[in-house]
Amino acid sequence: MVIPLAERYRDRLPFTDATPVVSLGEGSTPLLPAPRLSRRLGVELWLKWEAANPTGSFKDRGMTVAVSKAVEEGAQAIVCASTGNTASSAAAYAARAGIPAVILQPKGAVASAKLAQTRMYGARILELRGTFDEALEAARELAAVGTHSLVNSLNPHRREGQKTAVFEIVDELGGAPDAVYLPYGGGGNTTAYGQAFLELDGRPSRLVAAEAIDRAGTLASAIRISEPVHAASVQEALERTGGHVVTLSDDEILAAWHDLAASEGLFCELCSAAGLAALAKEPPEPGATVVCVITGHGLKDPESAGWLAPPPVVVDPDPEAIAEAAS
Ligand code: AN7
């Protein structure tokens, strides 16, 4: 049985005896070795497979805390803006808590399976004729009215939950790796990782935040965010840990995405390969121990597989034709 975050890290999270814990069994995700990529890149590479969370992304770590606290504080409903994953996670935990969720998302810019999830969980989805950044502003305004509790990563409880990924990595490796690479959209996750290292004894891992050069138009729709709200705290976390930002073209992210699937058997969503793309672009010292955080599942965005992977071959039920086509 998966131990919920609220139990595994209770002493480091803002839970009290009065908190009604809303959990779907998040966290405790696999830390997988990556032997082929390690050899090729000359490092000891580990992949933190956050797609194993209940709704398929790391957002669930923060959402269990944010929704639990919202319910404790008497919230009647929650609201968030999203490029897709926060929406699915908020909708799932709201369903679990028995309260309504309102989602504001940029129209036409959310991957199909994320939308399918969010609809099934029963959230009220408002498709904004505008960008993610405008959706976030709208969500903040609705929350300010007082009827809905904001569960974007501006909510500190979200970041509290998300920092637990670092605790798991450090626990499993028996210490902090030399560097941790992760995608950088709004920067809530990078900020949360920075917070985690502040709470741990010893040398922190260098945090490397991998962002798209074309923030407003990248194919990686999850990080299609022009103005990262956490830019200042990301900068602070990178400076404190000796890390930096790596800026990537879509081609660089696409190449790493294909590599993760074809070389290591991990099908993630496009933006989740940004950390690996940054590692390949600006490699650390040879032999360094490195973790790339794979933030979301490839099944969330099945259409995008068509950009790189060859289509199936059509055959008749004829043994000779099949043998020929199979080779
Ligand atoms: C798979 O769902 O912003 O830097 O609204 O879905 O903390 O923003 C998602 C972002 C990385 C970037 N990986 O994290 C949303 C949203 C995946 C993501 C990020 C997102 P932040």
Q: What is the 3-state secondary structure (H, E, C) of the chain?
A: CCCCHHHHCHHHCCCCCCCCCCCCCCCCCCEEECHHHHHHHCCEEEEEEHHHCCCCECHHHHHHHHHHHHHHCCCCCEEEECCCHHHHHHHHHHHHHCCCEEEEEECCCCCHHHHHHHHHCCCEEEEECCCHHHHHHHHHHHHHHCCCEECCCCCHHHHHHHCHHHHHHHHHHCCCCCEEEEECCCCHHHHHHHHHHHHCCCCCCEEEEEEECCCCCCCCHHHCCCCCCCHHHHHHHHHHHCCEEEEECHHHHHHHHHHHHHHHCCCECHHHHHHHHHHHHCCCCCCCEEEEEECEEHHHCHHHHHHCCCCCCCCCCCHHHHHHHHC
Residue 305, pLDDT above cutoff 80? yes
Cα 179 to middle of ligand 1, angstroms: 20
> What atom of ligand 1 comes closest to residue 85's alpha carbon?
2
Query: Minimal CA–CA distance to 165: which of 201, 202, 209, 195?
Result: 195
Residues 251, 273: Cα–Cα separation, whole Å: 11
Site to probe by mutation for ligand 1, drawn from 82, 83, 191 as the one with most ligand atoms within 8 Å of Cβ, is: 83
Ligand 1 close to Cβ of residue 298 (< 6 A): no
Ligand 1 close to Cβ of residue 295 (< 6 A): yes
At 97-134, the pLDDT tens digits run 999 999 999 999 999 999 999 999 999 999 999 999 99
Q: What is the CATH number of domain 59-155?
A: 3.40.50.1100
Task: Report the length, in residues, of the chain.
Answer: 327
Ligand 1 close to Cβ of residue 185 (< 6 A): yes
**Of all protein residues, whose CA lies closest to atom 14 belonging to ligand 1?**
185
pLDDT value, residue 306: 85
pLDDT band at 2 (very low <50, low <70, confident <90, very high): confident
CB of 136 within 8 A of CB of 81?
Answer: yes
φ, ψ of residue 154 to 5 degrees: the values are -65, -25
Residues 100, 39: Cα–Cα separation, whole Å: 48
Residues 33-55, mean pLDDT to the nearest whole number: 98
Ligand 1 close to Cβ of residue 271 (< 6 A): yes
pLDDT band at 1 (very low <50, low <70, confident <90, very high): low
**Of all protein residues, whose CA lies closest to atom 19 belonging to ligand 1?**
185
Lowest-confidence range among 104-108, 256-260, 288-292, 300-304?
300-304
> What atom of ligand 1 comes closest to residue 84's alpha carbon?
2
Cα 27 to middle of ligand 1, angstroms: 17
CATH of 5-57+157-307, one of 3.40.50.1100, 1.10.150.20, 3.30.70.3270, 3.40.50.300: 3.40.50.1100
Ligand 1 close to Cβ of residue 269 (< 6 A): yes
Residues of the chain with CATH 3.40.50.1100: 5-57+157-307, 59-155
At 155-214, the pLDDT tens digits run 999 999 999 999 999 999 999 999 999 999 999 999 999 999 999 999 999 999 999 999
Rounded to two decimals, the pTM is: 0.97
Ligand 1 close to Cβ of residue 275 (< 6 A): no
Cα 271 to middle of ligand 1, angstroms: 8
Ligand 1 close to Cβ of residue 131 (< 6 A): no
Judge residue 97's burial from the number of C-beta atoms within 10 Å of its C-beta, 0-12 exposed, 13-18 middle, 19 or more buried.
Answer: middle
Ligand 1 close to Cβ of residue 162 (< 6 A): no
